[in-house]
Structure 1
């Protein structure tokens, strides 16, 4: 039950972050660039501040090229958002294989939802809650389906043992 509550809280935090930039959709990084342009006062000013050719910015806005992770991080910084979150998301969005996509998703997920896993662990009210937090982190960090299934099974066992008490 605590895991579901923590997941809902983390999901809420991510949604709140998304609403910080009006109209910004994660899958459409052109909105991120538009918001940065608006914040600094124009395309030329963004180009000057980030040392980024205005033609390259225009290609991203037109959807001709994908926003490079480096530029996603720079735009996030301009907007006062967490650059690492957007860098990981950009890398995930541009992944060429499912394995690469899962890898970057894990990095993004760990950074956004479990970046404070140490803090969560210190604030755990019981050994059971601590075990639940750590098992969730192990699931996220797993690099193979076999490892992920193993840790999910351990988490299920932990939840079953708690529900029988």
Structure 2
């Protein structure tokens, strides 16, 4: 059984690392992973869930699940898995505590924005299809999209975009969507 767990962890690590390479994500200000990375992330998740079914407190699997959730922009899950890893005995190194702080910060930032990563991708597609260029100096197209999508509080989303320096459709596309 131990060999099976070790094999699953190795396979999950390889799938996760390949997915991370293919995701086209940076370490900071992540955006949705590229579609080509998703099958590798799904495979890693499946393998890690198998390990955690057998050994719910496996620190290595919990840390990898946290990394996987971070890549998928599910920061609350990433926080939960990392906290569980700490509870299971994962050392609280300077690097891991910094990662915990960044996960909390990113979780808050996405909640503050009021859009999911999928919605942000849809907004980018919409702005691109409208041919947004540097000549677009208002948020008209962004506001129209928010209204079309029946976003509960579009003005809070606009305020969050402006807090991030996006005062025009072009700035939303260039700085927020593709940041």
TM-score by length of 1: 0.31
Q: Which has the higher contact order (CA 8 A, sep 6+)?
A: 2
